[in-house]
Structure 1
Amino acid sequence: MRIGIVGTGYVGLVSGACLADYGHEVVCIDTDQDKIAKIGRGIMPIFEPGLDTLVASNVAAGRLSFATDIRPALTDVSAVFIAVGTPSRRGDGHADLSYVYAAAREIAAEMSGPGVIITKSTVPVGTGDEIERIVAEVAPGKSIAVASNPEFLREGAAIEDFKRPDRIVIGCEDELAEAILTEIYRPLSLNQSAPVLVTRRRDAELIKYAANAFLAVKIAYINEIADLCEAVGGDVQQVAKGIGFDQRIGSKFLNAGPGYGGSCFPKDTLALLKTADDYQAHLRIVEAAVKANDLRKRAMARKVIGALGEARGRTVALLGLTFKPNTDDMRDAPSLAIVAALQDAGVNVRAYDPEGMDQARAMLPGVAFCTSAYEAADGADALVLVTEWDEFRALDLDRMTQLLARPLMVDLRNIYKPEEARRAGLYLVGLGKPNSGPVLVGGSRAVA
């Protein structure tokens, strides 16, 4: 099948490459000529493991192409995915749908039909209805259906998630849209036995937001349990393990940390809350999770400051800046709030991240960026683990002890066990761990 994808951001590029890999003829369209030119040279606009190879192989096979002009690109297509951004609208937090609606207008004008326009972008409930109205206005008489097909791709594991999905959700109102989308995803449903859920369009739009909001609530919940564990002398990792064995709860997203960030959870929870308010169906639990997560990030900086004792003039080495490993995405990363709060307290910040430093430089003024974890630690008063990149899971702790001006490590991901740190001579501050009381570190007090 010949498929068009408008938008070559994270969702559009990954989806296009994966659909081409399943044998479809895919053209990805973007108005950013520089981005398209770079992709043509094999330079990906995002860091996603394996994406460059997947794109290159399908371009070479003639199944994947790129264009900046929508008119010739949509010749003879049966389906066009809208995969443009839906950022939070400035001022009110609603999802900005201007790019979605602009794409819908262009597609409807150029698409010959019969076919289907599919929203792959994360959009509030009712967006498909407005796209349907746009199609009727721009292309009266054309047989063009409108459907919703939300994505569930995790940054850093997007290709695996697309090819081995937990589910495929198709939201449509007619047989044409269902038939085309079923044919598009036939390779996945046959080869991997991925369940296909066909719903009404509004249900599909809600499923995406409801799923992300639930995971955000789960993260906020375990972070608050971590705070309680610290207060009462519990261990949040053991608590999480104990409740995670319950199949009604599950173990995923029960890792205490510095709060969620990224391109999805912050904007999607906010957009869902705005939609709920519009319909006077208030989501108190989601609202509380959003507030708790915002407070969480600055609280992590206070934890570091508390461990330092005297903060002003001290130097801290941050390991990891992106909101999660295996991505270069800095959007709403906890590191942004942590760095700002540390700098407000007079702390000098050094940082190292395997992939995110190019983006971080523009967002973190005053930070000294280093070429390795060990360079960052050299002479610092504390080592702070913020993002759980694989290369930070097996640090040479003995070497770190020698490099640091004071043997203090604040582990905001609970990667290291207290006994590992003690053997290396490091004082370890974790999350949701028993408080063993203050100890002297280099003449200042810190929590061991």
Structure 2
Amino acid sequence: MSRDDVATVRARRVLVGEELRPATLRIAAGRIAAIDAYDEAGVPDLDVPDTATVLPGVVDTHVHVNEPGRTHWEGFASATLAAALGGVTTFVDMPLNSLPPTTTVAHLRTKQAAAAGQLAVDVAFWGGAVPGNADDLEPLWDAGVLGFKCFLSPSGVDEFPPLDPTAFRRALRTVAGFGGLVVVHAEDAGVLDAAPARPSRAYADFLVSRPDEAETRAIRQVLDGARETGARVHVLHLSSARALPLLRAARDEGLPVTVETCPHYLTFTAEQVPDAAPQFKCCPPIRDAANRDELWAALVEGVVDCVVSDHSPATAEEKQRGDGDLQQAWGGVSGLQVGFPAVAAEAARRGIDVPTVSRWMSRATADLVGFTTKGRIAVGADADLLVHDTAQDTVVVADRLAHRNPISAYDGLTFPGRVTTTLVRGRAVDPDRPDRSWGRQLERTP
């Protein structure tokens, strides 16, 4: 056993199934071999303080790692360390912003080669659906991607163009034919084109340029496509609560649709966002406080299934393009390292317990992509664990985060509770000397 391997973990609060209870976890060959009574361990390798809770590691299914090609935005070495420091033990890499994008098997192999030997946590990959690559989708599926990301409006990078309505339906039919999953950036191109988008440093002007109707119209298209083709669909980064009635009706109808939202939509409000502050710019945008409350209620109700980071970093040059003009700045929030503490803190303020947060950020996301040994503490599951201690705070200082670029909407905030230890398949991640040979590249489980 290496110095970082852990064979026994003992804590007064361990999330086993849906229940917090005292337990000793016994780990062998990277998996949970037994869940014993609290006092059966002898002297455990990891004795968790009474102020802390042992939870399944976060499974973040929406992370942009821009390697190869734009590694100066974010690479696998920096991203996987940031993930581990925030309690994320598995993430799924999005197919765009790297060069080449993951739209063919050859491009997937390039991405996998770039990731080799750089992973402090386990990583899997989405494929991309773009105009002209319908014939590449099933080969990508067979090569192990977890599903297919597409845009209904411009993505921000020329090499990953959006699907028009005809191409979108074709992609849905193709993916439905082999039982895959289509995950959709749901903003309508026509609505965005019609919205006023004048150069401006004012956040209120940027918000007007990305109206709620862009999401509601695009989500209606997604749901109509699922109804017509039978494809399983997933709505990415829901920001507009005005789409919730559509999604609620789709659930009642039995359509195969799931939905995610993000920590920045649950933490920030438009009223709080300063002007000329591109670290808060994302698409779709952070909306008002009443909207945020509705997103929280939809999570509790189950209309929204899960919470993911949508970590979309860029260089300071890209974020500051236009000198505060929010139409020019790169859109994306860097939050991989702080997403779980932020959501847990806001949930606690709203009277929502940490097992519920864990369900949204670990179990639901693992289930979305079919990872049956991730996102849960159970015999036979991977020993992917985080320790969250409410006696300590998360103090966010952007230039101390492991993200490659020191830009964060969370800079300067303090959240009650901190991730103090992260275990990936039974091995504790050393923040000073992470073992980047330990993380695995995961493929879809048939």
Q: TM-score, normalised by structure 2?
A: 0.25
Higher Cα radius of gyration: 1
Q: TM-score, normalised by structure 1?
A: 0.25
Q: Which has a greater percent of helix?
A: 1
Q: Which has a greater percent of strand?
A: 2
Relative contact order (C-alpha < 8 Å, sep 6+): which is higher?
2
